[in-house]
Structure 1
Amino acid sequence: MSVSARPRAGWICSILVSALLLADALVMLLAPDVLAGAQEHIGYPPGQLPYLAWILILGVGAFLTRRLGAMGCAVLTAFLGGAVASHARIGEALSVPVLICGLLGVLLWVGWLMRGAVTGAPGTAS
């Protein structure tokens, strides 16, 4: 892959992951009834959905900015890790949601690192 194509591929990967996470946040905010059963199954009260949605929205916002990209990546990785831990706690260690969270986490970091491939410093592509 050429040096100039790496940041472009990184941004495509980053935008794809961000769109999926923002869609999840919008469902949490606008249609919490859809997720109420799943929240109770995992052991969390549905009233926590707005807080989780705002963590996602702020994390994605930070992830897509140049200066806060590393912090956003860390926040979103922690969020996805919490989701994996929640599923593992109830015996769903290799369920589809866990695999999706793992894939999103990998794509998150790949996208962020590829965005910085021009200068060699992650997250600082020019």
Structure 2
Amino acid sequence: MNAIAQPAAGNFTQHQTASAGWKLWTGRVLSMLLGAFFLFDAVMKFVKPAAVVTATLQLGFRESSIVPIGLALLACTVLYFVPRSAVFGALLLTGYLGGAVASQVRIGAPSFNILFPIVFASLVWTGLYLRDERVRALLS
């Protein structure tokens, strides 16, 4: 009766391994794409092209705050990619993106500008969920 109630060990392990591999690689690719975006955003804050300065001033921040914001984003992104600190990095990126939402709401920005960082925060956690078994176990 036990043999009927439980799947064959070989089939279960093979299916579990294939599922875990798919999740792992999907999570890695998603996280890499997000990381590329965040790193590009951080670098633009160091370079400070006119568009970045103008956008920052429109949000009500001083120009002198652009580089520290870029440093914060860079630090959060690096922590997100180090496996031991990935959850902490995701939490910090969520806070960073929450600040972006608050800034957009404060100036009465269009809905797209408010939803954009919310979508990115969701993708940060989706990528981490798919690539980190500990997060999947915690949320399952």
2:127 aligned partner: 111
1:110 partner letter: T
Give the C-alpha shift of residue 32 in structure 1: 4.3
Any unmatched runs of 5+ in structure 1? none
Query: Structure 1 runs of 4+ off > 3 angstroms?
Result: none
Deviations 1:14-70, CA, capped at 9 Å, x for gaps: 111111011011111012433111111111101101101011111111000110001
**TM-score, structure 2 as length reference:** 0.79
For the pair 1:25 / 2:38, whether they are aligned, the reply is no
Larger Rg: 2
2:29 aligned partner: 12
1:122 aligned partner: 135
Identity over aligned residues, as a percent?
A: 26
* C-alpha distance in 2 between matches for 1:21 and 1:30: 14
2:10 aligned partner: none
**Greater relative contact order: 1 or 2 (C-alpha under 8 angstroms, separation 6 or more)?**
1
**TM-score, structure 1 as length reference:** 0.88
* C-alpha distance in 1 between matches for 2:72 and 2:108: 25
Any unmatched runs of 5+ in structure 2? 1-17
Tell me how large the CA RMSD over aligned residues is: 1.8
1:54 aligned partner: 71
Structure with the higher helix share, 1 or 2: 2
* C-alpha distance in 1 between matches for 2:109 and 2:48: 24
1:41 aligned partner: 58
Alignment: residue pair count: 120
1:13 partner letter: L
| 8 Å CA contact retained: 1:60, 1:76 | yes
Give the C-alpha shift of residue 3 in structure 1: 2.0
